[in-house]
Structure 1
Amino acid sequence: MGGILVYVFLLLLTLVSYIVRRREKKDAHQTFKLPPGSMGWPYIGETLQLYSQDPKVFFASKQKRYGEIFKTHILGCPCVMLASPEAARFVLVTQAHLFKPTYPKSKEHLIGPSALFFHQGDYHMRLRKLVQGSLSLDVIRNLTPHISGAASSTLDSWDGGRVINTFQELKKFSFEVGILAIFGHLESHYREELKKNYSIVDKGYNSFPTNIPGFPYRKAMEARKRLSKILGQIICERKEKRLLERDLLGCLLNSKDEKGEVLTDDQIADNIIGVLFAAQDTTASAMTWIVKYLHDHPKLLEDVKAEQEAILKLNDEENRPLSWSQTRSMTHSQKVVLESLRMASIISFTFREAVADVEYKGYLIPKGWKVMPLFRNIHHSPEYFSDPQKFDPSRFEVAPKPNTFMPFGSGVHACPGNELAKLEMLIMIHHLVTKFRWEVVGSQTGTQYGPFPVPMHGLPARFWKESSTARVAALSN
C-alpha cells in the first residue's frame, strides 16, 4: 500500500511540475509577442512568393510593411527575419550562443557532417582556428605568385573572342586557388580527379534531394563517396611523408586537442570539402560582378587600369612578378572590390536557429524557429549607404558604420577565408585590366540566383588579349 502511495505522490509531483513549466512558458509567450508579419499558406507558407521574384524585392516589401523585424514561413520553417545592423550583431555576435547554424540535412550529407560550419562550441572553435591559421596573412602572402600564375593562365585560355560563361570560367579559377590553399602543390592526377568529382557534387548541391539513380542528387552522393576515397589517398601519402606544411591539410593533420587526440580522416575530408565549397561559388560570383561593373563604368575602368599599369610597368622594368605588398597598395582597386561586394551582396542572408526562446526588443523568437539576418537589406539601405543603388567605390574612402557592411558574415561563423578571397579578386583585376579588353554579350541587365546572385546567364562575354605592342605603348604614356 505504501508503495502505491509513493507512486501516486511521484505521479502528482511530476504532473504539477509539468503544469508549472507549461504555465511559465505560456506566461513568457504572453509577455512577449511574435513579430508582425504573415505566415502565408499552410505548410508552404510564403515560399512561392519568395522564389517567384527577386528575393530582395520580397524582403524589401516585407521590411517596408512590417519594419526591421518580421515573421514569415518559408521552406517548411517558421522564420524571423532581421534587417538592422543591431539585430544582425545580436544574432551573430553578442548572443551567438543562442542561435546555432542550420542547414538542410541533404546539404550536410554532401559536404560532410564534420565540416566546421555545421557546428558550434568547442569543436567549431578548434576547427575554425585551424582554418584561420592556414589562411592567415603570413601564409597567403606566400601564395601570391602562385595565384598570380593561375590567374594569368586562366585568362590566357579566354583569349580569341569566343563567347564564354564568365562565372563558370571563374569557378574553375577559384577551384585552383582553393586547391593551392588546401594542399599547396598537388599532383595533377589528384587535382583532375578532385575537380571532376567535385563538379558533380556541386551540380547536385542545390538539386531536389531525390536519392534515385540518374537524378543529380544521387549522382552527387556517389561523387561524394569518390571524393572521400581520393582524399583518403592524399591524406595517407601526406602522413607517410610526415611533412609540417602550413597549408590547410598540414594544419588539420598536425592538430591535437587538449587530450592529445588527432582528427579522423573523415573529419579532415569533410572540412576540406567544406572549404572548397565555401571558396568557390561565392568568390567566383563576386569576381563576375567585378568584371561586369568595370565593363559598365568605362571611367572607373580607366582609373583602375592606370593604377594597375603603374604596378605592371615597375614589375616589367625590374623583371619581377606581382608581389603581396603591391596587392596591399591597390587602393582604388580595393574600393572597387568592396563596393562590388556591397552591391552584389553574394551572401544575401544567413540561416540560424534559436536554441531557446529568445526575447529581442519586446518580441519573442520561439525555440526552433529559423532566424535570418538580411545582409542585402542592410547593404542597400539608404540609412547606411547614400544612393545605395549607385555603384560608387568612393563611398569606401570612409569606413562604413559598424555592422552595416558584412559581406563575409560576422561573429564566430564569419568567413575565415575573407583575406584570401580579396587577394584573389585583386590579382584577377590586375591581370584582367592590364592585359585584356572585353565586351559583354547580349542583355547586360538581370540577376539569376543559383543560389548566389550572378549576372544573367553567367555574364556571357568575349575577351581579347592586348597585343604586346599596344601594351608597351600604353605603359610608356
Structure 2
Amino acid sequence: MVIYLSYWLNKWSNPECNGVLPPGSMGLPLIGETLQLIVPSYSLDLHPFIKKKAQKYARDNCRHPRPPSSPMSRKYGPIFRTSVAGSPIVVSVDPKFNHYIVKQEGRLVELWYLDSFSKLFEMEGENKTTAIGVCHKYLRNIILNHCGANPLKEKLLPQIEEFVNKTLQTWSSHPLFEMKHAASVMIFDFTAKLLISYDAENSPMKMSEKFTNILGGLMSFPLNIPGTTFHKCLKDQNEALSMLRKILKERINSPKRHYEDLLDQAINDMDKEKFLSEDLIVNVVYGLLFASFESISVALSLTLNLLAEHPAVLQELTDEHEAILKNRESPNSLLTWDEYKSMTFTHQVINEALRLGSVAPGLLRKALKDIEFKGYTIPAGWTIMLVNSAIQLNPNTYKDPLAFNPWRWKNFMPFGGGIRQCAGAEYSKTFLATFLHVLVTKY
C-alpha cells in the first residue's frame, strides 16, 4: 500500500509529458489547487491566486532556456501549470501566447469548460457548448436574427427602454434592494420574453430564481452528492430545463405558432437543419438565457458602483444624455437608433467598466495536440486557461490600470471568446446604454 500510494502521489505531482512541462505544482491529489482559485476576490485586480503564481513563475520563465529558433522565443509573460477540479491546467497571462492560442481553435485547441460548467450544459453525454462548424454557424445566425443590430434598430430599442422605465419605477418604490440580484431578474425577464415569449408576471414559477441559484455552482467543486453546492445547482438546473422542455413541447404540439420568437424559428428549422433536436434547442435556449442575464447584470452592477465613486464621470455621462433630450422635438419621445449610436462617452464608460470587471476568470481551451511554447510542452488533453484580463490590467498597456478612467478608452473589444465577436455584444451594450440613459435622465 505504501509503495502504491508513493507511486500514485509521484505520478500525480509529475504528469507524463513528451517534453518539459511549464513550471508549477499540481496541488493536493484530486482537489489540486481548486480551493485557492475559487476563493472570492474583492479587488478589480487579477485574482490573488493567479497573480501570485504569475509573479512567482515569471522569474522561472526568465531563467528557462528557450530554443532560439522558436517563433515565440521573446518573453511576453509567464505561464504555469496547476490542477483545478481534478483537471490539469496551464494558466497563461502571456499576451503573445493567448493571441496565438485563440487563433488555433479547431486546429491545436478546442473550446473547453471546467467540469462544473460543462456538466451544467450537457445532455445525454454530449457537450452542446462546444458546438462548432455548421451548428455554430446556425446558432450565431439565429441569435443575430433576434438580438443583433438589425432587430435592435428596427424594434427592440424602444421595447428595452419601456421595460427599463417600468423596472426603475418598481425599484424606486422599495426602501432598498440588492442591485446584482435585481439586475439579474430584470435582464433575465426581458431576454426570456424575447427568446421564448416568457411572461414573468403571470408565470406560476419564477424561472429567474432557478437561473440565479445555478450561478452558485459554476465555480464549485463538481461533487454531486446531497448537501454540496454543486448538487443543489444541478437540481435547480434540472428544474429549469424541465420548464423549458415543457414550453417547447407545448409549442411543437400547438397547431399554429404565432410568437415569432427565437424558439419558434428553431422549431420551424428542425425539418431542414438535421442537427437540431428538441434537446439541443432546450440547451441552446438555456445557455443563451444564462449567458445574457449573468454577463449584463455583472457589468451593470459594477458600472453603477463605479459611477457612484466618480462624480466627474457621472456628470459628463448625465450631460451627454441631457443633450440628447434637448435636441429632440419632443422630450418625451423614446430613444432612436441614431441617438443610441451618438452616445460616445456612454460607450466609453461601459467599455471601461468591462475592462475592469471581466465576468469570467479566463477563456478555456483544450489542447488537441502537444503544444510547444518557449521550450515548454503542453500535453494533449490538458486544459489551457487564457487570462485575458491580465492584458486589460497591464500597466504597460493602460496607465494606472486599476483606475476607472473612461476618457482613456479606445480600440477595446470587451465581448467575445477569442477571435470570435460575441453574437450578443450589441444587445448587451444596447441594454446597458439604455438603462444608463433612463437612470441619469429620470432618477
TM-score bin (small chain): 0.7 to 0.9
What is the aligned partner in structure 1 of residue 424 from structure 2?
417
Alignment of 1:175-254 (within 5 A): 175-184=188-197, 186=199, 188-190=201-203, 192-203=205-216, 205=218, 209=222, 211=224, 217-239=230-252, 240=254, 242-243=256-257, 247-254=261-268
Q: Which moved more, 1:142-151 or 1:81-90?
A: 81-90
Once the two structures are superposed, residues 352-376 of structure 1 have per-residue CA deviations (whole angstroms, 9 ceiling, x without a partner) of 2112212234321101111011021
**Unmatched 5+ stretches in structure 1:** 1-26, 437-477
What is the aligned partner in structure 2 of residue 444 from structure 1?
none
Q: 258, 281, 294: which one pairs with 2:294?
A: 281
What is the aligned partner in structure 2 of residue 172 from structure 1?
185
In the alignment, structure 1 residue 394 sits paired with structure 2 residue 383: no
Q: Which moved more, 1:363-372 or 1:79-88?
A: 79-88
In the alignment, structure 1 residue 62 sits paired with structure 2 residue 53: yes
Provide the C-alpha distance between the structure 2 equivalents of 1:211 and 1:60, rounded to a whole number of angstroms: 30
Provide the C-alpha distance between the structure 2 equivalents of 1:350 and 1:379, rounded to a whole number of angstroms: 14
The structure with the largest alpha-carbon Rg is: 1
What is the aligned partner in structure 1 of residue 442 from structure 2?
435
Residues 342 and 407 of structure 1 are in contact (CA less than 8 Å); yes or no, is this contact kept in structure 2?
no
In the alignment, structure 1 residue 39 sits paired with structure 2 residue 51: no
- With normalisation by structure 2, the TM-score equals 0.80
Alignment of 1:265-276 (within 5 A): 265-276=278-289
What is the aligned partner in structure 2 of residue 3 from structure 1?
none
Aligned AA (1:367): A
Once the two structures are superposed, residues 225-281 of structure 1 have per-residue CA deviations (whole angstroms, 9 ceiling, x without a partner) of 443443334334444355586632133223258x65262222111111111110111
What is the aligned partner in structure 2 of residue 103 from structure 1?
113
Alignment of 1:344-363 (within 5 A): 344-363=357-376
Provide the C-alpha distance between the structure 2 equivalents of 1:36 and 1:288, rounded to a whole number of angstroms: 37
- With normalisation by structure 1, the TM-score equals 0.75
Provide the C-alpha distance between the structure 1 equivalents of 2:186 and 2:107, rounded to a whole number of angstroms: 36
Provide the C-alpha distance between the structure 2 equivalents of 1:261 and 1:48, rounded to a whole number of angstroms: 43
Cα distance change of structure 1 residues 241 and 332 upon mapping to structure 2, 3 Å threshold: farther
Alignment of 1:67-82 (within 5 A): 67=58, 68=77, 69-82=79-92
Once the two structures are superposed, residues 273-320 of structure 1 have per-residue CA deviations (whole angstroms, 9 ceiling, x without a partner) of 111110111210110011011111111111100111122344582542
- SS of the residue corresponding to residue 202 of structure 2 reads helix
Provide the C-alpha distance between the structure 1 equivalents of 2:221 and 2:27, rounded to a whole number of angstroms: 23
Cα distance change of structure 1 residues 386 and 251 upon mapping to structure 2, 3 Å threshold: farther
Cα distance change of structure 1 residues 58 and 211 upon mapping to structure 2, 3 Å threshold: closer
Residue identity (%): 29
Q: Which moved more, 1:319-328 or 1:91-100?
A: 91-100
- SS of the residue corresponding to residue 80 of structure 2 reads strand
Cα distance change of structure 1 residues 266 and 334 upon mapping to structure 2, 3 Å threshold: same
Cα distance change of structure 1 residues 79 and 197 upon mapping to structure 2, 3 Å threshold: closer
Aligned AA (2:26): M
Provide the C-alpha distance between the structure 1 equivalents of 2:234 and 2:50, rounded to a whole number of angstroms: 33
Residues 98 and 355 of structure 1 are in contact (CA less than 8 Å); yes or no, is this contact kept in structure 2?
yes
In the alignment, structure 1 residue 129 sits paired with structure 2 residue 133: no
Aligned AA (1:62): K
Q: 18, 43, 62: which one pairs with 1:29?
A: 18
Tell me by how many angstroms 1:101 deviates.
2.5
- SS of the residue corresponding to residue 80 of structure 1 reads strand
In the alignment, structure 1 residue 93 sits paired with structure 2 residue 82: no
- SS of the residue corresponding to residue 366 of structure 2 reads strand
Provide the C-alpha distance between the structure 1 equivalents of 2:324 and 2:441, rounded to a whole number of angstroms: 10
Aligned AA (2:419): G
Provide the C-alpha distance between the structure 2 equivalents of 1:329 and 1:135, rounded to a whole number of angstroms: 20
Residues 115 and 222 of structure 2 are in contact (CA less than 8 Å); yes or no, is this contact kept in structure 1?
no
Cα distance change of structure 1 residues 298 and 190 upon mapping to structure 2, 3 Å threshold: same
Once the two structures are superposed, residues 390-414 of structure 1 have per-residue CA deviations (whole angstroms, 9 ceiling, x without a partner) of 1111112x425xxxx54433234x5
Provide the C-alpha distance between the structure 2 equivalents of 1:318 and 1:191, rounded to a whole number of angstroms: 38
Cα distance change of structure 1 residues 77 and 213 upon mapping to structure 2, 3 Å threshold: closer
- SS of the residue corresponding to residue 94 of structure 1 reads coil
Cα distance change of structure 1 residues 255 and 86 upon mapping to structure 2, 3 Å threshold: farther
Residues 182 and 272 of structure 1 are in contact (CA less than 8 Å); yes or no, is this contact kept in structure 2?
yes
Provide the C-alpha distance between the structure 2 equivalents of 1:387 and 1:129, rounded to a whole number of angstroms: 39
Provide the C-alpha distance between the structure 1 equivalents of 2:144 and 2:128, rounded to a whole number of angstroms: 12
Aligned AA (1:45): G
What is the aligned partner in structure 1 of residue 311 from structure 2?
298
Aligned AA (2:34): T
Cα distance change of structure 1 residues 39 and 209 upon mapping to structure 2, 3 Å threshold: closer
Q: Which moved more, 1:164-173 or 1:347-356?
A: 347-356
Structural RMSD (CA): 3.1
What is the aligned partner in structure 2 of residue 469 from structure 1?
none
- SS of the residue corresponding to residue 163 of structure 1 reads coil
Provide the C-alpha distance between the structure 1 equivalents of 2:224 and 2:138, rounded to a whole number of angstroms: 33
Provide the C-alpha distance between the structure 1 equivalents of 2:361 and 2:220, rounded to a whole number of angstroms: 20
- SS of the residue corresponding to residue 299 of structure 1 reads helix
Provide the C-alpha distance between the structure 2 equivalents of 1:220 and 1:388, rounded to a whole number of angstroms: 35
Q: Identify, as 1 or 2, the structure richer in helix.
A: 1
Provide the C-alpha distance between the structure 2 equivalents of 1:292 and 1:260, rounded to a whole number of angstroms: 45
Provide the C-alpha distance between the structure 2 equivalents of 1:347 and 1:261, rounded to a whole number of angstroms: 33
Q: Which moved more, 1:48-57 or 1:267-276?
A: 48-57
Provide the C-alpha distance between the structure 1 equivalents of 2:289 and 2:243, rounded to a whole number of angstroms: 14
Residues 347 and 376 of structure 1 are in contact (CA less than 8 Å); yes or no, is this contact kept in structure 2?
no
Aligned AA (1:93): K
